[in-house]
Amino acid sequence: MIEEQYYDSDLHKASPPSSTSCYLQSTQSVLDLATTSNNKMVAEPRSAITTHRSVEVLASKLRRRQIVGSRATALETLLVLRQVISKARFSNLEQLVAIIRDAGRRLVDAQPKEHSVGNTVRKVLHHIREEVHAATRGNEPAKPTSFSISKFVLQGQPRKQVVLQKSEVKGTLRENDPDDPDSFARGLKPVLMEAIQDVLDELETVYDNISKNAKDHIHSDEIVLTLGVSKTVEQFLKSAAHVRNYSVIVAETAPSYDGRQMAESLSSFGISTFLVPDSSIFALMSRVNKVILGAHVILANGGMFAISGSLMAATAARAHSTPVVVCAGQFKVTPLWNLYHEYGALDFGNPSDVLGFENGDLVDKVDVVNPYYDYVQPELIVAYITNDGDHPPSSIYRLLKETYDDEDNDL
Amino acid sequence: MPVPTIADPPQPASAKPQGQPSQKSMTKAERRELQERQRAAKAALKGQPQQQGKKDPSQGKQQPSVGGTPGAQTKTKPPPTPQKKAFGGDIQGARQASASKDTGTGVIAEDAMAKQVSHGLRIFSHFGQPKPVSHTVKGDIHPEIIRLALLFSEFKISGANARCIAMLTAFKQVIQDYTTPSHNTLSRHLMTHLSPQITHLVSARPMSVTMGNAIRELKVEISNMDIDMVEQDAKDALCLKIDNYIRDRIIIADEVIEENAGNKIKDGDVILTYAKSSVVEKVLLAAHSERKKISVIIIDSKPLLEGKVLLKSLTSGPSPIPCTYALLPALPSLLNQVSMVLVGAHALFSNGAVYSRAGTAMVSMMAKARNVPVLVCCETYKFSDGVMVDGFSKNELAPTTVIQKYTHLENLPSSIEKLNPLYDLTPPTYITAVVTEVGLIPPSSISSIPLALGKTSL
């Protein structure tokens, strides 16, 4: 009753001439009004709508490409998921997983080419399962002891992450408690928040962890070639520059010419930097010691999608037997395969960057293409440097097994 | 016709006030004032018709006056002076200094640029920095050559064929204007007259292999001239030889290549080409005019973005060829629909390696990886005897002024070193066949062609 009065007064503030005859209807409209104005006083039942809204907001931002960059999207996704979980009502694990998956699916559908969204959801799900298992089963041994070669790959989680034991909830959690359906959620939520915080911390320290070993990869007087602009590669090179004196050749990477930005940033840091057009990569490759690339998505087979131009640089490096090293956060590792559309970039940029309207007479007659990504085969890559250690492309599948649960591969 | 050269005594700069105090003792305001006065005087001078062949040194810095040919003068715009970059902030002072102190400061500016470069890696030092267009002409240089040198240095004429034809045409003029000094013979002396001309051309832009080959041929012809021949007859004979060389080795050769390459083009083919080659352009247009249903993918890249010119010529006219245009990084995504790669060449080495516009090697490499045949169109006069193993050992850097003109991109901070190699070397393994006027040859057999064409010594 108090609530109703509150709405009533709110209603009159919002639209004073409303009549009593349409009371019910207008209360409903006020409900919407209250949620849109993000009113903190809204009570429990409306929270589902609010979280829903934050998912929608992120989805539309993704759709409009207002958020770009894998790490930014991963962070945003994580924050939304945290909101979703904190507001969610569930009495068993399946319900919770269904809620998260539903939110995840919406976000993935909004921008299917930004794989870090799905990866973050998968990772959160994985963490949640771990926490729940730890909390409900206590310290009962989870692993069967029988090993066989056929099971080795399936169960192979040789470097399982250490699960922090949350002692306060151990053993007290029960799913589907008929007396108190919220008890499961109440008991689990603090643990879940901590789990999400872990993922968040990992994302926030991703650059530091990747560039931690930079000095082992770059030696004095080396010449390193890179292209495009990648925050990860930038941090990696800068971190190596603290201890090593080396040179970087940055390819401009048409048509965005992002390489210029990269070159500026590196040279202002004091690294000797050369900016070259894409066309001269092959000519200079014979003097390059190492090619360091950024990735957009790392696929399960060890291949990757990266900014267009990467495939040519990697192939030229292979022709000169120059090692190609990829720096990427672990959140870019995706349980996807690219077997059938090997050459399709599947994402296209603005053609006016390639052939602008200043060539007006040409524009009508000519097809102009500006693919965004290249698929780089695993054979061309020597190693992935991630925040979870260095991996050859052939062991990316193992990293996947460790990071995500198999049932989440298809959200 | 008397040859007007810089050797004539230069007129003293009338704009320079007598007894002016030394530059350094003046305040900034004074300097600015002086400069304004000089500018006004210069503008007044420019209004008057300039004396033929005589150069005002203060103006020569800004505007290359080309042997008193007004047509050429309007055509060759003054290039932005490189001194601007070297001196950074104090542009005004620098320009004024160079304007009033004759040639001395220009050299200092070049030194400063060279020093900047030396901060970079030593392994890039052999490229040398593209020299700014030097307007100080040393020795007895024919105005036609001075003009040509400017056109070369500003990339108004570029491309192996175009440069070679332009050079030979200019040499014809030089030979006609030449008079053998007494106590000398044409066959002995003409080459000594030509060498400074060649040196001047090379100082504007490094010599192309085609030019080198043509000059070598010309030398042989000159030394073979009969001593007893009347001078004018000998000159005419030489000019005829030059005409024949251009006709046989370049123009007719291109027509034969057009036919040879055309035989390999079938209906429905998608032909990929990189940047612009005059021969490839002719091949494509010929195939199209034979009503073959072809479509063309033009891949292009900095530094020169020459593909746009090709794109224009293929799509202009009543029946344009269906074209796709993309930049080099997009190549892998397009290659799966390509049936043939057709590229031009700057030179061909005897190991079968193709020296061509930077980027060609990558196009061929990617095509080879996808099993798309790569045909290189190359006249036999582009063959070079030497062997080159990578595109790094010998290359040419495009000057920044030229790049800015071609790409219209904003300036970058000068702290970044920019390298713009113009060429790269495609290893013979990436090449399916070389289309020449003597047929389609695999790159492994290139070394035998000059011998088969009647060259006696290696």
Confidence at residue A170, expressed as pLDDT on a 0 to 100 scale: 46
Confidence at residue A37, expressed as pLDDT on a 0 to 100 scale: 40
Q: Do B424 and A274 touch (CB under 8 A)?
A: no
Q: Nearest CA of chain A to the CA of B358: how many Å?
A: 5
Residue of A262, A282, A312, A380 to mutate, testing the B interface (most B Cβ within 10 Å of its Cβ): A282
Q: Nearest CA of chain B to the CA of A270: how many Å?
A: 10
* Chain B: residue whose CA lies nearest to A262: B416
Confidence at residue B93, expressed as pLDDT on a 0 to 100 scale: 40
How confident is residue B44, by pLDDT bands cut at 50, 70 and 90? low
State both tokens at B18. Answer: 């007598």
SS3 A386: strand
Q: How many CB atoms lie within 10 A of CB B231?
A: 13
Q: With beta carbons under 8 A apart, name residues in chain B contacting A371.
A: 330, 333
For residue B406, pLDDT beyond 90: no
Residue of B417, B426, B429 to mutate, testing the A interface (most A Cβ within 10 Å of its Cβ): B417
- B263-269 contact pairs (CB < 8 A, 24+): B264/B340, B264/B375, B264/B435, B264/B440, B265/B292, B265/B294, B265/B340, B266/B292, B266/B339, B267/B292, B267/B293, B267/B294, B268/B293, B268/B294, B268/B339, B269/B294, B269/B295, B269/B339, B269/B340
Question: Cα separation of B48 and B11, whole Å?
Answer: 15
Q: Nearest CA of chain B to the CA of A267: how many Å?
A: 6
Residue showing tokens 């004429």: B157
* Chain B: residue whose CA lies nearest to A342: B333
How confident is residue B438, by pLDDT bands cut at 50, 70 and 90? very high
Helix axis angle, A115-137 to A183-204, nearest 10°: 130
pTM reported for the whole predicted model: 0.76
Instruction: Over range B7-34, report the average pLDDT.
Output: 50
State both tokens at A221. Answer: 């007087």
Confidence at residue A68, expressed as pLDDT on a 0 to 100 scale: 80
Q: Which helix (H) or strand (E) holds B46?
A: helix B28-47
How confident is residue B409, by pLDDT bands cut at 50, 70 and 90? low
In B163-313, the DSSP E strands lie at 270-274, 295-300
Question: Cα separation of B348 and B337, whole Å?
Answer: 28
How confident is residue B34, by pLDDT bands cut at 50, 70 and 90? low
Residue of A280, A308, A358 to mutate, testing the B interface (most B Cβ within 10 Å of its Cβ): A280
CB-based contacts of A158, cutoff 8 Å, min separation 6:
A398, A402
Q: Do B330 and A253 touch (CB under 8 A)?
A: no
Question: Cα separation of A279 and B395, whole Å?
Answer: 13
Q: State pLDDT tens for residues B131-165.
A: 655 566 777 889 999 999 999 988 889 899 999 99
Q: Do B424 and A253 touch (CB under 8 A)?
A: no
How confident is residue A409, by pLDDT bands cut at 50, 70 and 90? confident
Phi-psi region of A220 (alpha: psi -120 to 50; beta: other; left: phi over 0): beta
Helix axis angle, A47-63 to A70-87, nearest 10°: 170
Question: Cα separation of A231 and A75, whole Å?
Answer: 15
Q: Do B365 and A344 touch (CB under 8 A)?
A: no
For residue B357, pLDDT beyond 60: yes
Q: Do B424 and A279 touch (CB under 8 A)?
A: yes
Confidence at residue A352, expressed as pLDDT on a 0 to 100 scale: 85
Confidence at residue B212, expressed as pLDDT on a 0 to 100 scale: 92
Question: Cα separation of B243 and B252, whole Å?
Answer: 12
State both tokens at B418. Answer: 């920019």
Higher-confidence residue of A139 and B282: namely B282
Q: State pLDDT tens for residues A322-339.
A: 999 999 999 999 988 876
- H helices present in A242-363, as ranges: 258-268, 281-285, 310-319, 360-363
Q: Do B327 and A315 touch (CB under 8 A)?
A: no
Asked which of A47-51, A76-80, B54-58, B214-218 is least confident by mean pLDDT, the reply is B54-58
For residue B427, pLDDT beyond 80: yes
Confidence at residue B451, expressed as pLDDT on a 0 to 100 scale: 77
Higher-confidence residue of B31 and A75: namely A75
Choose the closest CB to A282 out of B302, B303, B365.
B365
Q: State pLDDT tens for residues A186-220.
A: 778 888 888 889 899 999 999 999 998 898 899 98
Choose the closest CB to B324 out of A255, A369, A374.
A369
Confidence at residue B329, expressed as pLDDT on a 0 to 100 scale: 92
User: Which of A192-206, B25-39, B101-115 has the largest mean confidence?
Assistant: A192-206
For residue B123, pLDDT beyond 70: yes
* Chain B: residue whose CA lies nearest to A345: B333
- H helices present in B119-185, as ranges: 143-153, 160-176
Residue of B323, B328, B406 to mutate, testing the A interface (most A Cβ within 10 Å of its Cβ): B328
DSSP class of residue B266 equals: -
Q: State pLDDT tens for residues A237-279.
A: 999 999 999 999 999 988 888 898 999 999 999 999 999 999 9
Q: With beta carbons under 8 A apart, name residues in chain B contacting A272.
A: 119-121, 417
Question: Cα separation of B109 and B100, whole Å?
Answer: 14
Q: Nearest CA of chain B to the CA of A115: how many Å?
A: 21
For residue B24, pLDDT beyond 70: no
Confidence at residue A345, expressed as pLDDT on a 0 to 100 scale: 53
Asked which of A44-53, A288-297, B343-352 is least confident by mean pLDDT, the reply is A44-53
Pair type for strands A324-327 and A366-368: unpaired
For residue A351, pLDDT beyond 50: yes
Confidence at residue A69, expressed as pLDDT on a 0 to 100 scale: 82
Choose the closest CB to B369 out of A260, A315, A374.
A315
Give the 3-state secondary structure percentages of chain B, helix then strand then coil, rounded to 5. 50, 10, 40
Using alpha carbons, list the distances in angstroms from residue B244 to B158, B232, B249.
22, 18, 8
How confident is residue A350, by pLDDT bands cut at 50, 70 and 90? confident
Question: Cα separation of B427 and A234, whole Å?
Answer: 33
Diameter of chain A measured on Cα atoms: 84
Asked which of A16-25, A304-313, A349-358, B447-456 is least confident by mean pLDDT, the reply is A16-25
Q: Do B358 and A315 touch (CB under 8 A)?
A: no
Q: With beta carbons under 8 A apart, name residues in chain A contacting B407.
A: none
Asked which of A188-202, B41-55, B374-388, B423-437 is least confident by mean pLDDT, the reply is B41-55
SS3 A74: helix
State both tokens at B273. Answer: 């080409």
What share of chain B has pLDDT > 70, as a percent? 69
Q: With beta carbons under 8 A apart, name residues in chain A contacting B395.
A: 283
Q: With beta carbons under 8 A apart, name residues in chain A contacting B334.
A: 369
Question: Cα separation of B145 and A79, whole Å?
Answer: 70
- The 10 Å CB-count burial string (b at 16+, else e) for B137-158 is beeebbbbbbbbbbbbbbbebb
* Chain B: residue whose CA lies nearest to A279: B359
Q: Do A284 and B419 touch (CB under 8 A)?
A: yes
Q: Do B301 and A247 touch (CB under 8 A)?
A: no
For residue B119, pLDDT beyond 70: no
Residue of A279, A318, A372, A379 to mutate, testing the B interface (most B Cβ within 10 Å of its Cβ): A279
Q: Do A279 and B302 touch (CB under 8 A)?
A: yes
Confidence at residue A173, expressed as pLDDT on a 0 to 100 scale: 61
Q: Do B421 and A283 touch (CB under 8 A)?
A: yes
Confidence at residue A137, expressed as pLDDT on a 0 to 100 scale: 65
What share of chain B has pLDDT > 90, as a percent? 46
Confidence at residue B13, expressed as pLDDT on a 0 to 100 scale: 41
* Chain A: residue whose CA lies nearest to B313: A362
Q: Do A281 and B425 touch (CB under 8 A)?
A: no
What share of chain A has pLDDT > 70, as a percent? 75
Q: Do B333 and A345 touch (CB under 8 A)?
A: yes
For residue A16, pLDDT beyond 70: no
For residue B40, pLDDT beyond 50: yes
Q: State pLDDT tens for residues B187-218.
A: 889 999 999 999 999 888 888 999 999 999 99
Tell me which amino acid residue A216 is: D
DSSP string, A39-63: -TT--GGGHHHHHHHHHHHHHHHHH
Question: Cα separation of A91 and A181, whole Å?
Answer: 5
Q: With beta carbons under 8 A apart, name residues in chain B contacting A354.
A: 325-327, 330
Q: Nearest CA of chain B to the CA of A308: how many Å?
A: 5
* Chain A: residue whose CA lies nearest to B403: A277
Choose the closest CB to B416 out of A275, A344, A359.
A275
The pLDDT mean for chain B works out to 77
Q: Do A308 and B332 touch (CB under 8 A)?
A: yes
Q: Do B392 and A284 touch (CB under 8 A)?
A: yes
Choose the closest CB to B332 out of A267, A280, A311.
A311
Q: State pLDDT tens for residues B247-261.
A: 999 999 999 999 999
Q: Nearest CA of chain A to the CA of B418: how many Å?
A: 5
Q: With beta carbons under 8 A apart, name residues in chain A contacting B366.
A: 311-312, 315
State both tokens at B150. Answer: 């400017």
Contact A386, A399 (CB under 8 A): yes
Higher-confidence residue of B360 and B117: namely B360
* Chain B: residue whose CA lies nearest to A275: B418
For residue A43, pLDDT beyond 60: no
The pLDDT mean for chain A works out to 78
Confidence at residue A113, expressed as pLDDT on a 0 to 100 scale: 81
Q: State pLDDT tens for residues B225-248.
A: 888 889 999 999 999 999 999 999
For residue A288, pLDDT beyond 90: yes
State both tokens at B281. Answer: 């352009």
Please report the ipTM that was assigned to this predicted complex: 0.76
CB-based contacts of B125, cutoff 8 Å, min separation 6:
B117, B118
Q: State pLDDT tens for residues A71-89.
A: 889 999 999 999 888 888 8
Contacts A–B by Cβ distance under 8 A: 170
Give the 3-state secondary structure percentages of chain A, helix then strand then coil, rounded to 5. 55, 10, 35
Confidence at residue A133, expressed as pLDDT on a 0 to 100 scale: 82
Higher-confidence residue of B329 and B412: namely B329
Q: Do A281 and B362 touch (CB under 8 A)?
A: yes
Q: How many CB atoms lie within 10 A of CB A129?
A: 17
Output the CA angle A6-A8-A13, nearest 5 degrees: 95
Contact B425, B388 (CB under 8 A): yes
Q: Do B366 and A312 touch (CB under 8 A)?
A: yes
Q: State pLDDT tens for residues A109-158.
A: 888 888 889 999 999 999 888 888 887 765 444 454 555 555 555 555 55
